[in-house]
Structure 1
């Protein structure tokens, strides 16, 4: 290819150069007869990019110079191909994969003893896996989950327009005096995003009048949040605008973006809620689409490692026929049952997590509006509902009885509930009767910790001491914590009859 009087820019003169391709060697030669175009700002390649381009998608372009005086009359540039050196290697890898698997015998104790005496039985801790099983034993009373105080009934309200966005700012109220409450047996630690202060906060769900800021979240609008796999150091959340699935460190509020949770076309335009299903190890999410003909809600699963979203189905069978349904948040109990709150019809609903089909359990009894939060305390089985009650214009915490939908008001949220609104609400407590063992004085053990080799069994003598007990029947659980990830805490129920 030869270029004579080639003009690529408005200049007084034209350049003369040629490009040669050698078919035998595949070399490419650029030859320059005249590079003076009559403009010092463009002479000798000052205004040019010189090199070899490559087809789209091929990372093989080679640049010789960019806007520099790199060529001149009588000069040439030779591009010579090189033969790539290919290296191959192989190696054999043997993966020895294994896990411990706990087997506890018997499955329960039913023993008796005369008053003032004691007896014992053997608990065998076996390991049918192929890795060592480490374990320790503690006890837990079966009445520890009972509520420490009665709840209050919820006020009624009128239905109104539906929105899942943060509530508009309201005129602050004077500081209030929290209403009197009976002492709680223990707190229910939780975290949430407070739209009133745009910050990550911590609180005790049984005393929500006090919320403690952890860190600001800036411009993030995190309407959905949840803990996963009993890790309470990071809160999973989805940003309303970017669809980013991220984690927030519950110690300092620092964030780590996992990826973009992309909604399927025609199946939602905004994320609303997150829920972790401990029974299957699945992270669920609710989404909605608000259009001219009402609102539709959808159920998804989300991979917490990649943020990949998979549609389960439309959440149907609930809502208002004319205006649709908006499931603002979802929650899953320890047995894998899913529930949600529909803002359109102001209903508490049960959801089939396999299909998205839903049914109304009961009316909330007030105008639930704007962003909300819903999560189970898996330890006690209590479902907490961080609501924004638009009938009275303030944030309120409720406890919901899932089988009936009955709501009990816990308290208003924050020192000024008109300025508080919680979303991405998640309870930070372990689940099951063995989550927080305590001392049962009439139970003793020959040892409380050990390691059981693969294929072996370790016997532990369990003592039942009736020396300080009145005649009657006593109940507890022997709790075996261990490193079997499928059964981290094994409960062995105990019934002890003192004659």
Structure 2
């Protein structure tokens, strides 16, 4: 279950116990194969239970931010990898890194670090490391040989590599790691367990005797240089090899972690691909300007122009280019840029900077087409009739174990057929995935390959037809053929004689793939013929190669031949440093009250001062429709064209079905219900849903007034906070506690057939030992906050949603286990402590916490959600887990909490689909909370200036106000004047204005009415 299970000092262990590994057999995953799983259960003490709290401190620092190089130093980091973006499309393995598992009966490859039964990253977010798994092999005997290979490196006489590695604390299994090097355009590690391919040079062998308790059990740094065998010139790669033998039947090869891999060399070293990275203050008039500095001092919230200038010294034309930043991830993804030998290319990127940073950027280029395969569409049709082959009844196609074929380097064990695509399904899954579960979308499509690799030979809606398979020829030159016959596809006329006839041919040994098409005209909509309503290409978990999407590319093409390719990828890394200084606004007075006769005027003034050490920018009278947008006019440079794709609602039964039945899709009302009718939005981390309802219908059963409507699939992240920003109810910002990541969920809508999906903004630099929660915006200041806790104490942080920057505000004194926070309409902060089962009032400036009172019910230490409804903030609402129903089963529940006493009142249980479980981890209400008014809405107010800037130490600025009663009647007029600034903790200040005109007892005016007749 995605939940907090422990209280007090052990809270952090429970906080981190959400994301089960594939072998954990937890909800939402599958069990391990029985042969090795039985042995593991008996031999591995870490196979069940929570993270041992001792693992948290072992070998780590309390400050988990990445170490930063001195930009003035002579060493250049050509590789600086903290492994924060591994299993993402176009992440690490689309940028020159390679992983391949050559183990006997291979299973898992090098993967993102996990928090269940393991340990935390050396630096960065908790899971930002890479690890090789005990289940690299499924066999109880044989060899583990799993490879991780760097991008190409230009070696020099002073090249050095350093890295951190460790295994589990108290490990009972021996593990081993080799570091190897190759020279030249090498990427070959062979295919068998003992193969090393081109990596003949052994630099380091950790625990070569494969002895127990010998491998480091806390993060340990190793550094290798020329004396250890590193090449002194030329291009090559470095490889990490998880390499363990168990031929004697003894299980070996424990969880092996790797973090912060750094390759350094002299800045003057020659490189086939050179990169210059400079920074300057952004100038909208010169978006293509290139500065000369590698360090810069700015005010928080300023825009910085990052200039990347790459020069090609490879001797060949580089046609595809990528750019990764160690903080924001992929910036350019294999952009088609023609870069001839000796030529240079400049790219500018504008970034809003909220804190001091020292990012490293890696530019990579390659000559050959990306994707891992070269495609030839010039050959004629050579159709193979296999109608006498085996007819597939369930979409599973048995693949012979001795058939030597790899798809994106992975061996095939079972093929799954569906919707014009074949997926390589490993045999540890119980059923085939629902291919194209969210409709047909352009590649890369994360929904297409949640399990393994896929061949989208004609991806479209298919409602009927036959699928045959057959093996032709003799080893080692056999062909595995899969044919679709009379398949009824989207846009066809429904006649099987006009159906799709296509086949896929897999060639043993060579790895060549053929797509052949005997019929692509379906007698229905002409626009859907020849690929007009289909997608064609290849994709694995990390990258994709699209041949065509909704294009009639097969009008004159009947055969596509895909040949594996290993294009040389050249890479270069640079680093810059940005020092951000914070402004701190002071506004005096904090409210104004004036009076004047009808037709008269009154004056007032406001002093605006800068108490910080950075430049203060301020302006008055403009409402903050989006305070997370820049306070000053800014600009952006487009990266590249993006193709929008439809997002249809069709939950994957293979995923959500294991957690309970899929909830109902929102009714397609003729007149959609608005947010006022159903203002409650919630994230259910048990099912992975974004749901919409009301306080009286906050569950799935429908018993309590209609039930939740499903409005999006949010995945398996452990969200612990969410909020709408600045009354924009179309986008929900959410906090993933498991990975310390900030997400944007959109479009949030009650319109029928419109469903939200999450988009990653970035990773927050928060302490690994603390769990973040409660992402909420202060309605009075516009600042966004979250809390962190380790069960012994809590902290308050401000967050910049533009770039996922977190800055500590204060230690929350006296509330050790804050798991959720929210503000009332007056900007007063409250926190829910699940170690105390209590509501706390928190000073958002100092962190001082005062106990409001006990809830009167137990949260059992589980993840819970606290939220105020801006429409009525007299009470708070808490969604908790642990309510015991009549049978004694724990369920979710919704409570109303008195914010003056902390006492909770039970409203109703929150039961999951079909009586299953539901765990609401975040709630936000779509009701207006911003009190600011635009100057145009206050016709009786005039300002002498719109705003200005103050450097540190400047005298305070004076803002003069004229309150004009020339068009007003007798009465009392009130408004909140907004003063905006770049102070990250006071983005806006509502200055209350009271204007008494004539005899106020004659009439009272709230808001901005009252013009004289």
- Which category describes the TM-score, using the shorter chain as reference length? 0.5 to 0.7
What secondary structure is seen at the aligned counterpart in 1 of 2:762? strand
Task: Map 1:198-277 onto structure 2 (within 5 A).
Answer: 198-204=688-694, 208=698, 210-227=707-724, 234-251=731-748, 252-265=756-769, 268=770, 270-277=771-778
Mapped contact 1:195–1:422 kept (Cα < 8 A): yes
CA distance in 2, matches of 1:132, 1:308: 22
Cα pair 2:594 2:602 within 8 Å, conserved = no
> CA–CA distance in 2 between the matches of 1:344 and 1:82?
56
2:97 maps to none
The answer (yes or no) to whether the contact 2:895–2:905 under 8 Å persists in 1 is: yes
Structure showing the higher strand proportion among its residues: 1
Instruction: Give per-residue Cα distances to partners, 1:390-426, cap 9 Å, x unaligned.
Output: 0446545444332322445666668979654321223
What is aligned with 2:837?
346
Further displaced range: 207-216 or 412-421: 412-421
Equivalent position to 1:493, from 971, 977, 994: 994
> Match of 2:929?
431
Judged with a 3 Å threshold, the aligned counterparts in structure 2 of structure 1 residues 487 and 216 are, in CA distance, closer, same or farther, namely: closer
Cα separation, partners in 2 of 1:416 and 1:384, compared to 1, 3 Å: farther
Q: Tell me if the contact between 1:340 and 1:348 (Cα under 8 Å) persists in the aligned partners.
A: yes
The 1-side partners of 2:813 and 2:877 are apart by 20
Q: Which residue of 1 aligns with 2:684?
A: 194
Deviation at 1:348, TM superposition (A): 2.2
Compare relative contact order (CA 8 Å, sep 6+) and give the higher one, 1 or 2.
1
1:387 aligns with 2:879: yes
CA deviations on 1:137-161 (whole Å, 9 max, x unpaired) are 9xxxxxxxxxxxxxxxxxxxxxxxx
Match of 1:31 in 2: none
Q: Check conservation: 1:211, 1:414, Cα contact below 8 A.
A: no
Contact 2:691 2:709 in 1 (8 A): yes
Query: Is the CA contact (8 Å cut-off) linking 1:329 and 1:340 kept in structure 2?
Result: yes
1:22-76 CA distance string (max 9 Å, x none): xxxx9xxxxxxxxxxxxxxxxxxxx86799x9749x99741399xxxxxxxxxxx
The 1:169–1:331 alpha-carbon spacing in structure 2 relative to 1, beyond 3 Å, is same
Matched, 1:281 2:766: no
CA distance in 2 between counterparts of 1:410 and 1:435 reads 36
CA deviation after TM superposition for structure 1 residue 194, in Å: 1.8
Following TM superposition, by how much is the alpha carbon of 1:258 offset from its aligned partner in structure 2, in angstroms? 0.9
Alignment CA distance shift 1:409-1:475 (3 Å): farther
Question: Do 2:772 and 2:786's aligned partners in 1 also have CA atoms closer than 8 Å?
Answer: no
Matches within 5 A, 1:333-412: 333=824, 337-351=828-842, 358-369=849-860, 370-377=862-869, 380-388=872-880, 390-392=883-885, 395-407=892-904
Q: 1:433 to 1:335 in 2, by over 3 A?
A: closer
Secondary structure of the 1:108 match is strand
Aligned position for 2:818 = 327
Structure 2 CA distance for partners of 1:60 and 1:403, relative to 1, 3 Å: farther
- Using the size of structure 1 for normalisation, the TM-score is 0.52
> Which deviations, in whole Å up to 9, do the C-alpha atoms of 1:62-106 show, x marking residues without a partner?
1399xxxxxxxxxxxxxxx999999999779999999x9999999
TM-score (norm 2): 0.29
Quickly say closer, same or farther: Cα 1:354–1:335, change in 2 above 3 A: same
CA deviations 1:435-469 (Å, max 9, x no partner) are: 699x9xxxx94689998587886756344436xxx
Change (3 A) 1:233 1:48: same
Is the Cα contact below 8 Å between 1:331 and 1:375 reproduced in 2?
Answer: yes
1:490/1:202 CA distance change after superposition, 3 Å: farther
Alpha-carbon separation, structure 2, partners of 1:330 and 1:110: 40
Distance 2:741 2:231 in 1: 30
State the 1:497 CA deviation: 1.6
Shift of 1:498: 1.4
Kindly indicate whether the alpha-carbon contact (under 8 Å) linking 1:338 and 1:352 is maintained by their aligned counterparts in 2.
yes
Unaligned runs of 5+ residues in structure 1 are 1-25, 27-46, 66-80, 113-117, 138-167, 174-184, 290-295, 318-324, 467-473
Question: After the TM superposition, which of the residue ranges 365-374 and 123-132 deviates more from structure 2?
Answer: 123-132
Distance 1:230 1:483 in 2: 17
Tell me by how many angstroms 1:193 deviates.
0.6
- Residues 7-31 of structure 1 show CA distances to partners (whole Å, capped at 9, x for unaligned) of xxxxxxxxxxxxxxxxxxx9xxxxx
State the SS of the aligned residue for 2:1001.
strand
After TM superposition, give the deviation of residue 356 of structure 1 in Å: 6.0
SS at match of 2:900: coil
Cα distance change, pair 231–301 in 1 and its aligned pair in 2 (3 A): farther
Indicate the SS of the match to 2:715: coil
Change in Cα spacing, 1:186 to 1:231, as seen in structure 2 (3 Å) is closer
Q: Deviations over 1:256-296 (max 9, x none)?
A: 1411554355xx4x44433445659352313335xxxxxx4
Q: 1:309 to 1:415 in 2, by over 3 A?
A: same
| Number of equivalent positions | 367
Moved more, 358-367 or 299-308: 299-308
- Once residues 221 and 95 of structure 1 are traced to their aligned partners in structure 2, the CA distance between those partners, rounded to angstroms, is 35
Residue 199 of structure 1, CA deviation:
1.1
Aligned partner of residue 974 in structure 2, secondary structure: strand
Residues 397, 497 of structure 1: CA spacing in aligned structure 2 closer, same or farther, 3 A cutoff? farther
Contact residue 829 and residue 842 of structure 2 kept, 8 A:
yes
Distance 1:281 1:109, change over 3 A: same
Shift of 1:373: 0.9
- The structural deviation recorded for 1:308 is 5.0
Deviation at 1:353, TM superposition (A): 5.4
Q: 1:261 to 1:428 in 2, by over 3 A?
A: farther
- Alignment of 1:461 with 2:959, yes or no, is no
Cα RMSD after superposing both structures:
5.9
Pair 1:131–1:356, CA change in 2 (3 A): closer
Q: Secondary structure at the match of 1:254?
A: strand
